[in-house]
């Protein structure tokens, strides 16, 4: 099996779609290699494109504040993206771009085997749909919910950029991470029916899995 370093090398030299023409740096995932939680963003912004690391701009600052508020430690988190090169300014990633990058995310998840995935925004959800063979829906329908799928938990969240545009959602954003932290603490002894029922976690099936 390829290592995370191998995958990053493939990402930084990737030419699978036209975004490589305009990127400054392709963005690899980062964090612990034994995470409880994998956070999946949408695509690099201007700062990420310069630095080559996800969530280092204003969105990253907000995400870090939410994680700290919930007591989620860096040693338990890996952060990555659905698309690894910056899309055109003001544009969301196209489904063709998401599909081009989906194999990188799939390989990361095969190595990391996290307890929970947090797709942030519709592009991240679409990327999981491609990998897992699901139709999870839109973030406006799923935000705040938790889904149990083939021994994996999925907790969709709005992207921090959306929260920055609509600060009224800030408290709910932080509270969702508190809920995530509580569930993770209850998973120390593995999945159980009580955890699923206590947090109203919905079970679904997928056509494929990592």
Domain ranges within the chain, ordered by starting residue: 4-204
pTM equals 0.94
Residues 91-124: pLDDT tens digits? Answer: 889 999 999 999 999 999 999 999 999 999 999 9
Per-residue pLDDT at 209 exceeds 60: no
CATH topology of domain 4-204: Uracil-DNA Glycosylase, subunit E (3.40.470)
SS3 4: helix
- Backbone φ and ψ for 64, nearest 5 degrees, come out as -60, -40
CA neighbor of 27 nearest in space, from 90, 87, 109, 88: 87
Q: What is the mean pLDDT of residues 182-191?
A: 83
Question: Using CA atoms, how far apart are residues 189 and 205, in angstroms rounded to an integer?
Answer: 23
Share of the chain above pLDDT 70, in %: 97
pLDDT at residue 140, rounded to an integer: 95
CA distance 14 to 157: 28
Q: What confidence tens digit (pLDDT) does each residue in 37-58 have?
A: 999 999 999 999 999 999 998 9
């Amino acid at each position: 099996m390829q290592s995370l370093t191998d995958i990053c090398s493939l990402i930084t030299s990737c030419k699978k779609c036209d975004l490589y023409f305009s990127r400054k740096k392709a963005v690899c995932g980062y964090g612990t290699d034994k995470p409880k939680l994998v956070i999946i963003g949408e695509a690099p912004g201007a700062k990420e494109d310069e630095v080559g690391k996800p969530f280092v701009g204003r969105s990253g600052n907000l995400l870090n504040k939410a994680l700290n508020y919930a007591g989620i430690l860096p040693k338990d988190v890996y952060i990555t993206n659905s698309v690894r090169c910056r899309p055109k300014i003001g544009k969301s990633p196209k489904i063709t771009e998401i599909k081009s990058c989906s194999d990188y995310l799939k390989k990361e998840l095969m190595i990391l085997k996290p307890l929970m995935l947090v797709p942030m925004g519709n592009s991240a959800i679409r990327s999981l749909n491609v990998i897992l063979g699901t139709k999870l829906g839109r973030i406006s329908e799923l935000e705040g919910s938790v889904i149990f799928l083939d021994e994996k938990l999925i907790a969709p969240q709005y992207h921090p950029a959306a929260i920055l545009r609509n600060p009224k959602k800030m408290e709910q954003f932080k509270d969702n991470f508190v809920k995530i932290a509580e569930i993770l603490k209850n998973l120390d002894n593995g999945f159980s029916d009580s955890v699923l029922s206590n947090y109203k976690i919905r079970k679904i099936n997928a056509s494929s899995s990592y």
